Chains A and B, each alone.
Chain A
Amino acid sequence: MFETLIFEKTDHIAGITLNRPDALNAHNVQMRDDLFEVLSTVCADDDVRVVLFKGAGEKAFCAGADLSEFLTAPPPVAAREVRFDRDLWGLFIRIPQPVIAAVHGYVLGSGIEIALCCDICIASEDARFGLPEMGLGMIPAAGGTQTVPRAVGVGPALEMILTNRWISAKEALDRKLINRMVPRKMLYDIADLTAREIAAKDPASVRLAKSAVVRGMGLSLDRGLSMETTLALRLIAEHF
């Protein structure tokens, strides 16, 4: 059991709920360690076909990093070593199963970054998105400078990050930051339904399809096409 997360596995779906509602589910060192442990387990569990992220409480999916712990961190060299030793964000983008985020309320800083490490993001109409790091003399550090421009394009990403302008769920939908916008009371039903639809498909096909799309985005078209063929052949071999 985890101090900062609720983890439950039902019908091949791993549900992970960020659970510090009194602190707007702010990401702290304990949550980093809990997420690293739970994601390591999920990655290695073939029984898990889909991962579904939620945030506990009414107000926020995740309001960002817990600033009360800042300035107590080890010196930069040690902090960097810890970061790459327990590489939570590197692990996040290597999860072989599809990951869905169901977000509501404040989705700020590392909240947006968690959502964009997921493959499909469904947001309720009240969700608000923003990256406040620049106002604190920092830059996003959970992949935001990489995942935001890949989702919305370089121009809008530069504007969002450099001015820390917040955007509504509607604008997030228009800018393709999220896949779908749904009424608040239907958020978890729709997210569960999407998870169940994916869990009902052939698990090997689902993983390879995700892999082809995600890895292909970092390759030239030629290399992407040959990787796709390799993965398709592997699937044919598995099914024989």
Chain B
Amino acid sequence: MKTDSVTFQSQGRVGVITLNRPESRNAVNRQVTAELAEIRRHAGYGSELSVILLTGAGSGVFSIGTDDQENIGRTDPEGELAALKAAAIIGSFDQPVIAAVNGDAFGQGLELILACDVRIASRNARFAMDQILKNRIPWDGGTQRLSRLVGRAKALEMILSGMILDADQALDIGLINRAAPPGEVLPPAMKIAEEMAGKGPIALRYAKEAILRGMDMTLEQGFRLEADLYFLLHTTRDRTEGITAFREKRPPRFEGR
């Protein structure tokens, strides 16, 4: 697939998405969003990809946020926002998505990684939800996902002040799962992606669905969803293969069926 502002490569069952506008500090614009949407269609139902990895080109910046060149709110504010909602696309993947945060993630850049499932960041990365400094509020999921991830008090502090956190602070409040040495974020992120890619692809998607959907339900409803998905997995060949391989003490060969 030919793209410019975002590149996409498959490495086995892992699909690697790279924000590729280093000259603009990987700022999100309409083109980035349109290309992400195209990748999402390509990597969706029927694709061989079990896991998605999202990273940014260059070393100091993952993404600085929404491109200042984008004029939002002139003629059709709702439509203009919709055409820029990149995190909404990342959040719509059925597969697990791992963020390899190679540098600063500000504003919509932070919203992008919040839409991922596991976040590994470079030790020199910084994090801020800084929309308030431009008289805006986060509009690509930030007000919802940040508070669910780090709790209401920290989310309010970040969103209302635009404060900048370093990687250690981000680790302490649970904004990122792990930190890696500067410039070396890809290997550990890829290692996690490959660990996941060795699992049953359907079980991976169902586990993600049970966790994310279940958190929007009562505990009882969540238990019911989990059980329904579990019994649906009983109909897959991968489950039989997983149990058989365990008994035969050999690695399983999952096919996604």
Q: Are B235 and A67 in contact, with the CB atoms below 8 A? A: no
User: How near does chain A come to B235, taking the closest CB pair, in angstroms?
Assistant: 5
Chain A min CB distance to B192 (Å): 6
Are A83 and B207 also in contact (CB < 8 A) when A135-B199, A136-B239 are?
Answer: no
B88 within 8 Å of A by Cβ? no
**Chain A hits for B142, CB < 8 A:** none
Contact among A80, A90, A164 for B231, CB-based, below 8 A: A80
Residue pair B215, A140 in contact (C-beta under 8 Å) = no
- Chain B residues within 8 Å of A155, by CB: 117-119, 149, 174, 177
- Is A84 on the interface with B (CB-CB < 8 A)? yes
Q: Is B23 an interface residue when CB atoms closer than 8 A count as contact?
A: no
User: CB of A153 within 8 A of chain B?
Assistant: yes
Q: How far is the CA of A157 from the CA of B200 in the complex (A)?
A: 18
Query: Would you give the shortest CB distance from B239 to chain A, in whole angstroms?
Result: 4
Give the distance to chain B from A141, nearest Cβ to Cβ, in Å: 4
Q: In the complex, what residues of B have CB within 8 A of residue A214's CB?
A: 219
**Which of the residues B192, B195, B207, B227 comes within 8 Å of A84, measured between beta carbons?**
B227
Within 8 Å CB of B238, what residues of A? 137
The interface residues of chain A lying within 8 Å CB-to-CB of B232 are 76
Checking B192, B211, B227, B239 against A137 with a beta-carbon cut-off of 8 angstroms, the contacting residue is B239
Least CB separation from A149: chain B residue: B211
- Report yes or no: B226 in contact with A140, Cβ–Cβ below 8 A: yes
Task: Report the Cα distance A217→B177, complex, angstroms.
Answer: 24
A183 within 8 A of B: no
What does DSSP make chain A's interface, helix, strand, loop or mixed? helix
What's the interface size class on A, roughly? 35 or more
B148 within 8 A of A: yes
Among B65-73, B104-112, B246-254, the stretch in contact with A: B246-254
Least CB distance, B208 to chain A, in whole angstroms: 7
Chain B nearest Cβ from A127, distance in angstroms: 22
Interface assignment of B242: CB less than 8 Å from any CB of chain A: yes
Report the minimal beta-carbon distance from A154 to chain B, rounded to whole angstroms. 6
Judging by beta carbons under 8 Å apart, are B196 and A163 in contact?
yes
With both beta carbons as reference points, the residue of chain A lying nearest to B145 in the complex is identified as A154
Q: Check if B233 is an interface residue, CB within 8 A of chain A.
A: yes
CB A67 to nearest CB in B, in angstroms, measures 6
Q: Is B218 an interface residue (CB 8 A)?
A: yes
Residue of B192, B220, B252 near A159 (CB, 8 A) is B192
A136 touches B243 (CB 8 A): yes
Bound together, the chains give a CA A144 to CA B102 distance in angstroms of 32
| A154 in contact with B252 (CB, 8 Å) | no
Interface positions of A (Cβ within 8 A of B)? 67, 70-71, 73, 75-77, 79-80, 83-84, 89-90, 93, 133-141, 143-150, 153-159, 161-165, 214, 217-218
- Using a CB–CB distance below 8 Å, which chain B residues touch chain A? 96, 117-119, 148-149, 174, 177, 192, 195-196, 198-200, 202-204, 206-208, 210-212, 214-215, 217-220, 222-223, 226-236, 238-244, 246-247, 252, 254
Beyond A139-B233, A156-B174, A158-B118, 16 additional contacts (C-beta under 8 Å) are: A75-B234, A79-B231, A134-B207, A135-B198, A135-B246, A137-B199, A137-B203, A137-B238, A137-B240, A138-B203, A138-B239, A141-B227, A146-B215, A162-B96, A162-B118, A214-B219
Q: What are some 11 contacts across the A-B interface (CB < 8 A)?
A: A71-B243, A76-B235, A89-B223, A134-B200, A138-B200, A143-B222, A145-B207, A155-B119, A155-B149, A162-B118, A165-B195
